[in-house]
Amino acid sequence: MTLIIAAGDSTTAGTPGFTSPIEAPPDGAGNVESQFAHWLMQQHPEWRVLNRGVDGERSDQIRARFVRDVSELKPDAAIVLAGVNDIYQGRSADAVTRELDAMYAAARLARVPVVAATIIPYDTATEDQNARMHVVNDWIRARADGRTSWMAVADTRSAVASPENPDRLVSSPDGLHPSPEGYRLMALALEPVLVGLLSER
């Protein structure tokens, strides 16, 4: 069984349809289809994808539990999706990229390949918030440019963006988070990147 751990905030947890196992132990609660971890395991029954998302957490809070929730478990790969709550709360793009860089470094130290996922949009974002999200996402893409055997980018933002307005979600029950279909689309963006990383282990 291949072990993959998804570390992140509400868009990893599966909000609003699902409450993650960290928030509702031991198995989480709600509609299991409202999380990309579920859809990844539907595509790959041989994968065990642990949902380690927590609704509302900033990147510094995710980093604070990263060693416990990810590194110490020595997964075959990790997904890191963080930063949208920092932006929502008015923090700078630089603050987010510092925390992301620390998580990427912790994963590399533990010899855990990382899929760096881009921050997804939300419908109420201001022009300034969208601009900061784009700065973070451009940094993520540049950070993993020329994919290595330990790090690659999955463009989860593009996967769930509306074709008419890429700064809005294509489908959302609350304007802030994806619908189950949106989480399925996130999984479709993550899956080939994970396959590529795992093939190089």
**Rounded Cα distance, 197 and 12, in Å:** 20
What's the average model confidence in pLDDT over 43-50? 98
**Residue at token pair 């700078």:** 92
Q: What is the pTM of this model?
A: 0.96
pLDDT of amino acid 146: 58
Q: Looking at 114-123, 147-156, 189-198, which range is the least confident one?
A: 147-156
pLDDT of amino acid 147: 55
**Rounded Cα distance, 191 and 201, in Å:** 16
Give me the half-sphere count of Cα atoms (radius 13 Å) on the Cβ side of residue 95: 15
Query: How far from 142 is each of 26, 122, 138, 151, CA to CA, in Å?
Result: 37, 23, 6, 12
pLDDT digits (tens, 9 = 90+) for 143-175: 876 556 789 999 999 999 999 999 999 999 998
pLDDT of amino acid 154: 96
Mean pLDDT of the residues in the chain: 96
Could you please state the CATH topology (level 3) that the domain comprising 2-199 is classified under. Rossmann fold (3.40.50)
Q: Number of helices and strands (H, E) in the chain?
A: 9, 7
**Rounded Cα distance, 44 and 53, in Å:** 20
pLDDT digits (tens, 9 = 90+) for 53-90: 999 999 999 999 999 999 999 999 999 999 999 999 99
**Rounded Cα distance, 119 and 140, in Å:** 9
Sequence spans of domains, the chain? 2-199
